[in-house]
Chain A
Amino acid sequence: MFFRKKSTTWLRCSLGAVLLAGVVGGCGGGGARPPKWSFIAATIVEPNCATASCHSAVAQRAGVVLTPRDTAYKTLITRKFVIPGDCPNPGECQDSEMVALLRAQGSRRMPPDFALPEADIELIEHWINEGATND
């Protein structure tokens, strides 16, 4: 009986923690994702590209550093991975290397281990088409 009572308490606590996180997570809602570099850098680029062996400060693969946000922006613009205004429609970026790599097939694609969701790439294209500012 003692075991069962304590188990129930811990089960309730666990479920409570998950629900609390869910409630906190729900605050503010997801909503439309803004085509802003500050959002794209923090939610897409840094978690997927600036990883330990790739484009982090300690690895700098191919000389490309995609963290922190301002450094990443400068890299993408100065090395012409991003051409502002280059994406009139989703999938129609003519010269932006970043989008070409994100949409490539096979091992040339970035990130090379797993493709980004289409929604992420379209958000990046939207940002490029709106001028690709460091906002």
Chain B
Amino acid sequence: MINPLRRTSVVAGGIVGLWLLASARPALAYPQFQFSSGTTRCGQCHYSPSGGGLITSWGRDESGDTISLGGDGSFLHGATTLPSWLALGADFRAAFLYNNVGGPESPEIAKIPIGSSFYLPFFPMQLDVYGRAAYEAYSLNVTIGDRGVVRPVDPTLSGRTGDFAARLMSREHYFMWRPSATGPYVRAGRFFAPYGLRLAEHIYFVRRYTGFNLYEETYNLSGGYVADDWEVHATAFLGIPTSLPDFLGAVGIPESGGAVYAEKRFAGMAALGVQSRIGIASEEARYQGGAVGKLWIEQARLLVLAEADFIRQQVPAASAGQNQFVSYIGATYIIRGFMAGAAYERFQEDLAVSGTGRNAYDAEVNLFPGAHFEVGLLGRYQKAQAVAGGGPDSSAASLAMIQFHYYL
């Protein structure tokens, strides 16, 4: 006799596994485009001074002229021209996902039914709409999106993922004062504080375990200064209470604190960044700091990205804590219309406890056949030092994902 709760949990497990790995992601930029596309600052192609989200007219031009194989990157492919005070955009991703964690139920492939007997091996991964209205140096920036769905929701499971309206949320909305592309700026609202490499995929350890996992955007008061060869960003943030409506909901322990990121660029081909973040909540506190490195090797068309962070997590109620280490190093070959890279990641959950480390190896290929279009392939293999069960299957997990991306 199978425990109904266990059966429910087993069904949920498969769904949740795919969800965990492939739900909608914030429309972060590719840090790989820094230096390799001829631009040195993230804020050249994005309205956000630290990159990500809605792209500027410069960025739209670049998408057709230098990144993809051609085409008009303008809004609606240039069919209409928006007034200068208004910028709009949208991102849509559909993805194929293969997930293998071993065991008799693996591998799993995400799919959505069409009718009663036909399945599409894809799921809607991202649907985000962006708007920006500006008056002189002031702007209001809003992103509204729908959380991705790997599968239609199993009716035997409860939860808050059942319908489109319930999944709507605004992960970014902020006012900004930014008189020019370089120089000082101030912004207030919800977004990710500038920190780290800001990789697009939230499953990477340096995002997942540093306070920047999916939907962990905080409410911030942030300011900084951006120059041609250096920039600095300082952010004070408030955690989002779980009591807020889903539309404004957040994930993660609601820490409040501050983050600082400073980057110095050298000769348009390298950058070195330092960073620190303190997040304090009623349940725990995290003190972390680290460094970022970027190196563009023009002759080889190769960009090397690296990040390392030490984290001290303290739990006052338990009078205890743990020290963590998380890192990423990757190299990407980039030519017009094509990008291929490999990366190694390391996360040590507790430096004082053996067997709590895990490694991940990633391979990515991105094709940009034309402005507005992208096909991305991601392969990931994870291996732990010592895990539950002890069997050979339990220490490894792998996934493969193909994304079809269109932006308006």
| A residues neighboring B (CB under 8 Å) | 3, 6-7, 10-11, 13-18, 20-22, 24-31, 33-34, 36, 38-39, 41-43, 46-47, 50-54, 56-64, 67-69, 79-81, 97, 100-121, 135
Contact = CB atoms under 8 A, between A and B. Distances in A.
Interface string B308-342: 11111111011111111000000000000000000
Given A104-B103, A112-B13, A113-B399, 7 more contacts: A11-B272, A38-B283, A46-B283, A105-B103, A111-B17, A114-B101, A118-B386
A25 B169 contact: no
B14 A52 contact: no
A8 to B, nearest CB: 11
B246 interface: yes
A36 B161 CA distance: 32
Task: Determine which residue in B12, B106, B290 has the highest number of CB atoms from chain A within 10 A of its CB, and name it.
Answer: B12
A132 B16 CA distance: 26
Nearest to B167: A58
Given A11-B272, A51-B251, A116-B388, A61 B16 contact: yes
A27 B314 CA distance: 10
Contact of B394 (A52, A57, A69, A115): A115
A43 B313 contact: yes
Contact of A10 (B158, B215, B272, B321): B272
A68 B273 CA distance: 33
Given A17-B274, A33-B350, A25 B287 contact: yes
B318 A101 contact: no
A105 B21 CA distance: 18
Given A29-B352, A43-B315, A97-B3, A18 B310 contact: yes
Contacts of B274: 13-14, 16-17
Nearest to A39: B318
Contacts of B356: 117, 119-120
A63 B318 contact: no
A102 B309 CA distance: 28
Contacts of B183: none
Contacts of A60: 158-160
Interface in B246-301: 246, 249-253, 264, 266-267, 272-276, 283-284, 287-291, 293
B261 to A, nearest CB: 11
Interface residues of B, number: 100
Interface string B372-408: 0000000000101111111101110101000000000
A104 B17 CA distance: 14
B86 interface: no
Contacts of B355: 117-119
A28 B213 CA distance: 27
Interface string B177-216: 0000000000000000000000000100000010001111
A109 B395 CA distance: 12
A100 B169 CA distance: 34
Given A13-B274, A17-B274, A6 B15 contact: no
B349 A105 contact: no
A61 B387 contact: no
Given A43-B284, A54-B19, A106-B104, A30 B322 contact: yes
B300 to A, nearest CB: 21
B345 to A, nearest CB: 12
Given A115-B395, A118-B390, A39 B15 contact: no
Contact of B283 (A6, A41, A102, A105): A41
Contact of A115 (B249, B252, B266, B388): B388
Contacts of A102: 388
Contacts of B3: 97
A107 B17 contact: yes
Contacts of A107: 13-14, 17, 99, 101, 103, 105-106, 108
Contact of A51 (B106, B214, B313): B214
Task: Determine which residue in A22, A46, A51 has the highest number of CB atoms from chain B within 10 A of its CB, and name it.
Answer: A51
A135 B275 CA distance: 34
B101 A106 contact: yes
Contacts of A113: 17, 20-21, 99, 101, 397, 399
B101 A112 contact: yes
Contact of A58 (B169, B309, B311, B354): B169
Interface in B126-162: 147-148, 157-161
A119 B386 contact: yes
A54 B18 CA distance: 10
B320 A34 contact: yes
A21 to B, nearest CB: 3
